[in-house]
Amino acid sequence: MAFSSTQYLALSVLAGVWASVYYRVRQRKRNPSRLPYPPGPKGIPILGNLLDLPREGYIYKAFRQWSRDFDSAIIHVQILGTHIVVLNTKEVADDLLDNRSSIYSDRPRMPMMNELMGFAWSVGFTPYNDWWKHSRRLFHQHFNPSAVERFRPKKLKATHAFLRRLADKPEDFRDHVRLMAGGVILDIAYGIDVQTADDPYLQRADEALHIVDKAGNPGSWLVDVLPALKYIPEWLPGAGFKRQARAWRAFVDRFMAMPFDAVKENMQRGGVVPSFTSLALRDVTAEDEAARRYQEELIKGVGATTYLAGADTTMSVIATFFLAMTMYPEVQRRAQEELDQVVGKDRLPDFTDEPSLPYTTAVMKEVLRWQQVAPFAIPHCVMTDDVYNGYFIPAGSIVIGNSWAVLHDENLFPDPFTFNPGRFLDPNISQRALAAVDHAFGFGRRLCPGRFMAMSFAWITMASTLATFAVEKARDADGKEIDPTGAFSPGIMGTPEDFPCIIKPRSREAEDLVRATA
């Protein structure tokens, strides 16, 4: 950015002054009863609670601590005139994001991503409008629990290739996970068969993910604080963000178009590879050119969203699984005993085994609960003024469901920081706790529509790995075991930090089964 930090601060302060005055006047009209905001740190004039937020560390943990400090499941902070409401229990999250989803399902305005880079096509970032409704309907049509079964062969193929790479170079397991996660989603979305990490489709998709990460990083772009800046000409000093947005938009547009166009061309030549895109294009029936073009743009957007939403998240979930197996060997042994008893040692697990493997399924659920890929999910935005439990929540407030706090609530999950799959087999576990696992994928109408595909792929990967490999703690030069710290990255993505481990086939017979999949 061409703005200096001093200029950024000065403009932010001016924006805060204007917003503070504006909202005080508006609040008197919209909140005549002078109801309070939900409790939270007091803050200071203009900046609000900007200085209260942790500069480093885990902000979702800080919000849960404030929830305890103020004895309230709902917390309010204000930053430069922007209201932020954080929901730290399943009860309040259900009350607002689910039961009042008609007004709590919008997204905050994101000028850099949605308006300058054109990312409003993404199911995750688009506002609550007809495009979102049509995209979500298309997503559900092809990725509901019954529909995702058609992609089982692709998931098995990707899992078996992952096992073979793991047998060849176990020390590179993170690279293998990345290749598997990106490859299977490109296959499901477009029918693209990715074999190596330098595949051009995979590299372009990874770069698109990198752009999304940089463009969507909160506080990185002044235009997100002062949206009117999006109208300034590119040649003006300080308008470098517009030139960057234009370049990124062109790259992401190509990322979306290349695989989509390839599928269309293959279909026209009669060489169809089953995938979401080919199946969805087959169902396009509109004769009107404008309607047909709209349907194709929806398909293109959902296909790209499938990759952008699924690649990094899948990689993080599987990496968390390896960390848990390293730290909790007794869990690994119990799952392997179940697999040996049900599946045996002369074949690999299949999807049809899942009903007979409750503990293995519990391992997958506990991975999702123990550490969320997105501890905050994507923030919601309330569309009208609302009152909840005597608190005033103004329209336009950013509303965050704290997934991490919900899934570490001692009232739902006793001893929440211990990795314990057995909790899901406890007959006394509440239905509320069982349902809470879904909040690893968001809340309300914004719950990730791809969660069924994500969970089924995570399950077959974990089951196949447990059946064939042993994951152990690494040892130092003196032969002593190295205990992983169990630390996760402090950003908006909960990814395990690097940790040492030893991965090896459970037996010669297990290795033979893996290699036979080739």
Feature table: binding site for heme: 448
Rounded-to-integer distance, Cα 205 and Cα 231, Å: 30
Three-state DSSP string of 20-39? HHHHHHHHHHHCCCCCCCCC
Specify the pairing of strand 82-87 against strand 398-401.
parallel
Residue type, 467: A
Cα–Cα nearest to 277, from 249, 299, 252, 310: 299
Supply 123's token pair: 């199911």
Three-state DSSP string of 244-300? HHHHHHHHHHHHHHHHHHHHHHHHHHCCCCCCHHHHHHHCCCCCCHHHHHHHHHHHH
Rounded-to-integer distance, Cα 407 and Cα 317, Å: 15
CB 285 within 8 A of CB 238: no
Binding residues: 448
Rounded-to-integer distance, Cα 264 and Cα 261, Å: 5
b (16+ CB within 10 A) / e for 244-276: bbeebbeebeebbeebbebbbebeeeeeeeebb
**Dihedral of alpha carbons 139, 201, 315, 123, sign:** negative
Between helix 200-215 and helix 240-269 the angle, nearest 10°, is 150
Strand stretches in 195-329, DSSP E:
none
Rounded-to-integer distance, Cα 192 and Cα 194, Å: 6
Placement of tokens 């399902």 in the chain: 105
Distance, first Cα to last Cα, the chain: 49
Rounded-to-integer distance, Cα 98 and Cα 19, Å: 30
Rounded-to-integer distance, Cα 127 and Cα 132, Å: 7
